[in-house]
Amino acid sequence: MSLILDKINYYYGKGTAFESAALKNISLAIPDGEFIGIIGHTGSGKSTLIQHMNGLIKADSGSIYYNGKDIYDKDFKMTDLRRKVGLVFQYPEHQLFEATVIKDVLFGPTNMGMDKLKAELAAYGALKAVGIGDDLIDASPFELSGGQKRRVAIAGVLAMSPEILVLDEPTAGLDPAGRTELLNLLKEIHETKGITVILVSHSMEDVAEYAERLIVIDEGEIKYDDEPRKVFAHADELRKMGLEIPQCTELMGKLADAGLNVDRSCLTVEEAVNSIIGAIS
Amino acid sequence: MLRDMTIGQYYPVESPIHRLDPRTKFLGTIIYVVSLFLFKTFWGFLLAGGFLVMVTILAHIPPKYVLKGMRPMLFLLLFMMIFNLLLTPGEVIGEWWIFSVTKEGIYAALFMGLRLALLVLGSSLMTYTTTPNKLTSGMESVFGFLKVFKVPVHEMAMMISIALRFIPILLEETNKIMKAQQARGADFESGGPIKRAKALIPILVPLFVSSFRRAGELAEAMEARCYHGGDGRTKMKPLKYHKGDLIAYILLAGLVAGCIFIP
């Protein structure tokens, strides 16, 4: 159950005077059960990249293999891929359209050809997983709060029981509490259901704490693909790409420069506190 | 699919025509269009055609691009020419089944066809060389006299410019929603007409919702900047006539003279 991208190239405005490369020679393997963060500056090509993963955009050259099958083959069923690779777009609450929450969540599973009972079970399960209570399932999605709407929209993708869940900037526009809540939710889904989660973000803080693997994209190319700690060791290069490193890592770097014996690669506040206490005592 | 509409699209280059005041271009287009309907012979069209070629060259727009604007009109043009060709009574020169081609018919088909072609090409030149913003501020100024009759000229101009501004935004939004629904397994391409119409609901509902949201946000933002309509409102870039406009008006006067003297 893996997704392999092999030398993907994609151009904007192919064949016109405005042609420009959006993705250059991207090769990537996504094995089962990872929590991956993809970061890059606005316009770096990260959204374009994830749309290749479920076949919404077709690469101009290169191939993509899902479980060893070439997705550009004529007899490959794209609906299967769309079901297995669930893609949650930016501001997914803008795609809600049904009269009730449950009907909206049912849209995906029904399109995928699940029978009624199975689809309903999947929809209820997904709503429960994102923390939408029974009292809201018959409400109109347009009456919900922003955070609730977003969780309903995520449930709409989750109900298709994907094996890989890709989310484009899922925390955009949420308050800090909503952001932490959503990220913890993703972590929980990742751990309990064993789903591969790919989190696209331009915020280092988001991905540093949760991702096990970090892919940095700049100008359509993969610059780093490693553990977060190792990626953040390249602070200067990241800054040149217009990316920030997490505040904790930044602070620890400065403390270490000032002569304090602390660990530079701390990612979270907790780690940083422990490291500082260790250095002082 | 919606990208290759050239009619009404601004063509961004530097040229004397682009620099003209939008009022000049607007009045010029009106004079040009009226002249097309006043000419009774091909000599008049020769003058109008010459005028069109001159403006196209001065505007630095590739002729191919200008002709592309004709494409949506092609069907109407052929339709009209064929009807004129077959249904004009007069001196018969050829017959086939129930149709007869007359000398007058050939003349009328060519005359009408040429008139329509010149009409479309000429008016699209204005939108090629004028940004929507300038166009609406030009229109507001030209129709400004109607304010005396309580016509809300400014409000209408503002509505047109907002509508034009939102076309690309809504196109992008549509594209995004389509992709999001496709990711949820929506299928817009297969099935009969009823199934296809139904498949549009997941696109249209979010599109309407977002249009209303955007409209509300825009209204709030305008109010926050104390927008209160056209009264006493000044412009950041007021319309001003330059030397080029004088030359343009002289040339337009030539076209008017042509209307009067050419039969």
Residue B146 carries which side chain, given as an amino acid letter? L
Quick check: B184 and A94 CB within 8 A? no
pLDDT, tens digit (0-9, with 9 covering 90-100), for B231-262? 778 888 788 888 888 888 888 888 888 888 87
pLDDT digits (tens, 9 = 90+) for A64-85: 999 888 999 888 888 888 889 9
pLDDT higher than 60, residue B223? yes
Q: Residue A124: which of A150, A106, A147 has the closest Cα?
A: A106
Tokens 């047109």, located at residue: B160
Q: Where are chain B's structural domains?
A: 16-130+239-261, 147-224
The minimal CB distance from B205 to the residues A56, A87, A97 is found for A97
Mean per-residue pLDDT for A215-240?
89
Between B177, B179, B202, which is nearest A107 by CB?
B202
Burial letters for A157-181: b for 16+ Cβ neighbours within 10 Å, e otherwise?
bbbbbbbbbbbbbbbeebeeebbeb
**A108 contacts in chain B (CB < 8 Å):** 184-185
Mean pLDDT of A22-29: 91
For testing contact with chain A, the best of B68, B179, B184 (most A CBs within 10 A):
B184
In CATH, the number for domain A3-245 is: 3.40.50.300
Instruction: Provide the token pair at A182.
Output: 């959503």
Burial of A63 (0-12, 13-18, 19+ CB in 10 A): middle
**pLDDT bracket for residue A15 (50, 70, 90):** low
Q: What is the ipTM for the molecules in this complex? A: 0.85
DSSP state of A263: -
Chain A residues with CB-CB distance to B187 below 8 A? 79, 111
Residue A217 has pLDDT above 80, yes or no: yes
